[in-house]
Amino acid sequence: MIRQLVPARAQGAGIRTGLRWKLSAAIALVGALVAIALSLVVHNAARVSMLDNARDLADERVQIAQRNYEQSGRPNFYFPNIKIDDSSLPPALREKVRDGRRATFVSDRRRGGPDIWAAVPVKDGHVLSLHTGFTDRSTDILNDLDQALVIGSIAVVLGGSALGVLIGGQLSRRLRKAAAAANQVAKGESDVRVRDAIGGVVRDETDDLASAVDAMADTLQERLEAERRVTADIAHELRTPVTGLLTAAELLPPGRPTELVLDRAKAMRTLVEDVLEVARLDGASERAELQDIVLGEFVARRVAAKDPDVEVRVVHESMVTTDPRRLERVLFNLLANAARHGKPPIQVTVEGRVIRVRDHGPGFPGDLLAEGPSRFRTGSADRAGHGHGLGLTIAAGQARVLGARLTFRNVRPAGAPEHIPSEGAVAVLWLPEHAPTNTGSYPTMP
């Protein structure tokens, strides 16, 4: 039994993030990390350099004060904050001076900035020290430097983001073109080449991917063409002996054996003709012979001639430009499939450019719904009396030639879960609004 449906698009798909935004975010993140690291390094280096300069300046001042003190014998100093035997002198600095060494010391006790100490022993045993802080000017310089680093970091992040969008956008466009071309190849357009579609002068990994896809498509096309030729050749070679067998069977005397032979010979001839038709459709050389027809009237007349028991309902009439012979072939195959695998009543509904064929049987098997029509697969483990699986394959192929879309679904009560048996099967043929291209032009059908 051939009842299958092309898989529907996944529902509730997650949010898709474009490559350009991912690349932009990555560059912005890396830029931010680098900018922060460099800002910390520059800030610390500038702070250390200013502290070293401040310590050197304090050391020079305390030496000048030492010379003046030793020459005059009294604390006559030019600089403020210089004291003799300051009790608040840090212990670490006091220990160094006690050993007879001149030293400086930095303390971070002040909220406004570090304390800077410089001390030196004098000849009379006293300790001369200078206590000062980080100047406001130095603090302002650091603040201005930090502000400049923040602005520079923001500029780096924004520039990196813009660069990521630019680079990612170009790569994303090439990949989208490659994906579109690959989809065209998948739909049977064998003359499309992914490498030509993406274009570009600079060669990168995208070109390698496109070349690999083109090579794969060429190889697959060659294999499919070889299989199609073999199938067509076998079917063509079988046509003559099968025709002879049918002719010979018709000459047999009447009886039950003759009827069985004729039945099997006719079935074999139908199979050979169907295989030849599938081979022609696979070759993509079929062209629609266009005519203007009134769709509802056409369907009603053809169905009445084929099976008067089938109910035809025209909801909305329309004029279409299509190939009547191929449309009839699709319609009859759908009706034959419904009659063989479904249950009456069989109903045909025409609404504008849409034709629906419904039966009230068990519906389409789930695995066939998911994969679409497939030749020589009937959906039944027992193939005897269930067809050879080419009916819907031919219908789908003829629909492609017409530029139409053929879909299949099961009918279930509203809100019913999947395990509830279906109330029938529906095949829907969507004829295109515009006639297919690359076709012959024929006069209007009478």
Q: Which amino acid is at 23?
A: L
- Is 14 a member of any domain? no
- Taking all residues of the chain, what is their mean pLDDT, rounded to a whole number? 77
Does residue 378 carry a pLDDT above 80? no
Which is nearest to 425 in space by CA: 336, 345, 334, 362?
362
293 and 391, same structural domain? yes
101 and 119, same structural domain? yes
Helix extents (H) in 112-204 = 136-186, 194-198
Greatest mean pLDDT among 139-153, 222-236, 360-374, 427-441: 139-153
- Is 268 a member of any domain? yes
- Is 175 a member of any domain? no
- Is 211 a member of any domain? yes
Q: What share of the chain is helix, strand, coil (3-state, %, to 5)?
A: 55, 15, 35
55 and 69, same structural domain? yes
CATH number of the domain to which 248 belongs: 1.10.287.130
Residue 178 CB: number of other CB atoms within 10 A? Answer: 19
Domain boundary, last residue among 285, 315, 347: 285
378 and 275, same structural domain? no
CATH number of the domain to which 294 belongs: 3.30.565.10
Percentage of residues in the chain with pLDDT exceeding 70?
Answer: 77
420 and 317, same structural domain? yes
Q: Which domain holds residue 69?
A: 20-145
244 and 132, same structural domain? no
- Is 386 a member of any domain? yes
**Would you state the structure tokens that stand for residue 314, as one six-digit string?**
């025209």
- Let me know: does 348 contact 316? Beta carbons within 8 Å: no
- Is 151 a member of any domain? no
As for how many domains the chain has, the answer is 3
Q: Which amino acid is at 107?
A: S
* 28-65 pLDDT tens trace: 888 888 888 888 888 888 888 888 888 888 888 888 88
The whole-angstrom separation of Cα 160 and Cα 31 is 6
Q: Dihedrals φ, ψ of 313, to 5°?
A: -130, 125
* 247-290 pLDDT tens trace: 887 787 888 888 888 878 877 777 777 777 777 777 666 787 88
Q: Give the DSSP letter of residue 6.
A: P
| pLDDT score for 294 | 92
Q: Which amino acid is at 125?
A: G
Instruction: Extract long-range pairs of 180-186: CB within 8 Å, 24+ residues apart.
Output: 181/210, 182/213, 182/217, 185/213, 185/217
CA dihedral 142, 143, 148, 149 (to 10 degrees): 70
The band of 75, judged by pLDDT with boundaries at 50, 70 and 90, is low
43 and 26, same structural domain? yes
* Region for 199 from its dihedrals, namely left if φ exceeds 0, alpha if ψ lies in -120 to 50, beta otherwise: left
CA-to-CA dists, residue 270 to 100, 164, 263, 267, 419, angstroms: 118, 61, 11, 5, 36
The band of 355, judged by pLDDT with boundaries at 50, 70 and 90, is very high
360 and 241, same structural domain? no
CA dihedral 6, 7, 9, 10 (to 10 degrees): 180
- Let me know: does 309 contact 344? Beta carbons within 8 Å: yes
CA Rg value for the chain: 45
Q: Which residues contact 203 (CB under 8 A, 6 or more apart)?
A: none
**Would you state the structure tokens that stand for residue 149, as one six-digit string?**
């680093």
| Sign of the Cα pseudo-torsion (304, 308, 310, 311, in order) | positive
The whole-angstrom separation of Cα 124 and Cα 119 is 15
CA-to-CA dists, residue 400 to 60, 166, 284, 313, 439, angstroms: 95, 40, 10, 25, 13
The band of 18, judged by pLDDT with boundaries at 50, 70 and 90, is low
pTM of the prediction?
A: 0.52
Side-chain-facing half-sphere of 49: CA atoms under 13 Å: 8
372 and 296, same structural domain? yes
79 and 113, same structural domain? yes
- Is 314 a member of any domain? yes
The band of 416, judged by pLDDT with boundaries at 50, 70 and 90, is low
- Let me know: does 424 contact 410? Beta carbons within 8 Å: yes
Domain boundary, last residue among 254, 285, 316: 285
- Let me know: does 16 contact 104? Beta carbons within 8 Å: no
301 and 247, same structural domain? no
Domain boundary, last residue among 270, 285, 300: 285
103 and 215, same structural domain? no
H/E element, 322: strand 319-322
- Is 181 a member of any domain? no
